Chain A
Amino acid sequence: MMTLRAGRVFAVVLRQWYLVRGSFSRIVPLFAWVAVDVVLWGFITRWLDSVAAPGGSFVPTLLGAVLLWDFLARVMQGVTMAFFEDVWSRNFLNVFATPISIAEYVSGLVLASVATSTLGLAVMLSIATGVFGLSLLGYGLLLVPFLLVLFLFGIALGITGSALVLRLGPAAEWFVWPIPAVLSPFAGVFYPLATLPPWMRAVGRALPPSHVFEAMRAIVAGRAFSGAALAWGGGLAVLYILLASWVFVRVHRHAVRTGLIARYSAESVS
């Protein structure tokens, strides 16, 4: 039976806290780019509202979608950034020679992401609500499962991205940053899945965020939405976390077998 030691999980979070609290260059990206995104899309929706037929509002559909999608991206980056700190400081040998288990290490990365993504969400909500009048309260209590599904899927992406960099080396971090952008056309962030050709729609349905955005658009349009589909999205997100964790464990085992952990910067021991 695997048990998690809270002290070891806390150590990973504490390391991240030490790094973030004293570093302007780490604090600003937590909210700067998502804030820019919200401002940009805030003005776009304002302009669209002014030229569209009266009665409609692009604020809850487009700006709400941007905000939720950026939240997912921040969650993913929260995990990968905490992992990259060990990559950048060449700290793998020190960390993985301690008694910490992979489950404890990954749990620490996830908790670090909870803190950083919450800050990003708070800043986005402040701007979207205060400046552009977005009210996520319009989604009611469904906002909780919306955020939960996106959070879980963001964690899964973060763990997968970290595994990718552990396997391929530090230079592979450039594969990780664009992951949300690559997935967004399939997830139907700004348009219904029905807009997509069949093969893209099939991919989209396999992505948990698509169920969130379909439900969100239904609520804004005053239509009924499928709670079962949203629950399915949540189930998929949990499944992806399990899959991502399995991949990370496999990659770590490979790294221990081949000596990649000990000579990580070489990138080519296997």
Chain B
Amino acid sequence: MSAAPRTATAGPAAHVLSVSGLEKRFGATVAVDGVSFEVGRNEIVGLLGPNGAGKTTTINMLLGVLQPSAGTIRIEGVDLAAERSRALARTNFAAVYAPLPGNLTVSQNLRVFGLLYGVRRLSDRIEALLAQLDLRRFRDTRCGVLSSGEQTRVALAKALLNEPQLLLLDEPTASLDPATARDVRAKIRACAAAGTGGVLWTSHNMYEVEEVCDRVLFLSRGRILLEGDPRTLPGEHGKATLEELFITVAREPLALEGA
């Protein structure tokens, strides 16, 4: 560990996340192909793309559970490969495919993960999140018996425990009804606006992306094809809506190469 390069720690880094030349190969298959991007403070960035585009592979690399084949990831200036624990202490995530253990209660899960993330004044933090996400009445309920919406809110509470500078959300509103999804979006936006961190958000719901994201990155076949404001990007490429643009990316990515 002593040989690890020291990274900027004197002040806050300009970006909460800086990804450079990120690549992941599985044998001959290239899942992520030289991706570079940043997430700024108080910025919500949408990572969009069809199934198999490399979104979840990218997020897994940002979470330190998948080793990149090449490239660097800096979270608040801390190199993830060199200082994994320091970098991950500034990060958290919620994903529809990673529910919290269903055999622990809401408060037990939050306490265990709060300890893992080294949260100070943990009891106060848990109480604040239970109130913020309307989970007080489920405090002693096992997560496994909660509805999808309630489980999503618990996963979000876990993701916000350490007040992460980088919050990764992989389809956080998938499987939620529209009313619950809107409620969850509002809570995430409020959290992003209140702190100094940034959010990387994947979703297949283009209405949601337009509503929430400041900037979007379109990923196709492991590469970033387009980048821009979700409200103006469709018009820049001759499309009426973000959904139309998404479908073009999914079906005719070559038509947009070099755009």
Contact = CB atoms under 8 A, between A and B. Distances in A.
Closest 7 CB pairs of A and B: A11-B115, A89-B101, A99-B85, A97-B63, A98-B116, A99-B89, A99-B88
A133 interface: no
Interface stretch (B106-114, B130-138, B231-239, B249-257): B106-114
Interface stretch (B11-19, B36-44, B64-72, B176-184): B64-72
A15 B104 contact: yes
Interface residues of A, number: 34
A101 B65 CA distance: 12
A243 interface: no
Interface string A3-24: 0010110110011001100010
Interface residues of B, number: 37
A258 B57 CA distance: 11
Interface of B: 1-2, 26, 56-57, 60, 63-67, 84-86, 88-89, 91, 93, 95, 97-105, 108, 111-113, 115-118, 158
Contacts, number: 91
B98 A98 contact: no
A10 B98 contact: no
Contacts of B95: 93
A99 B65 CA distance: 11
Contact of A14 (B67, B88, B111): B111
Contacts of B91: 97
Given A89-B102, A89-B103, A97 B115 contact: no
24 contacts: A1-B1, A2-B1, A7-B116, A7-B118, A10-B115, A14-B111, A15-B108, A18-B104, A19-B103, A90-B99, A91-B100, A93-B65, A93-B97, A94-B98, A94-B158, A95-B116, A96-B64, A99-B88, A99-B116, A101-B85, A256-B64, A256-B65, A256-B66, A258-B26
A145 interface: no
A100 B64 contact: no
Interface string A248-270: 00000100111101100000010
A143 to B, nearest CB: 35
Contact of B116 (A2, A8, A85, A92): A8
A124 to B, nearest CB: 28
B112 A11 contact: yes
Given A89-B103, A93-B65, A256-B67, A18 B116 contact: no
Contacts of B84: 99, 101
Given A14-B112, A93-B97, 16 more contacts: A1-B2, A7-B115, A11-B113, A14-B115, A89-B102, A89-B103, A93-B98, A94-B101, A99-B85, A99-B88, A99-B116, A253-B67, A259-B60, A259-B66, A261-B65, A262-B56
Nearest to A100: B116
A19 B104 CA distance: 7
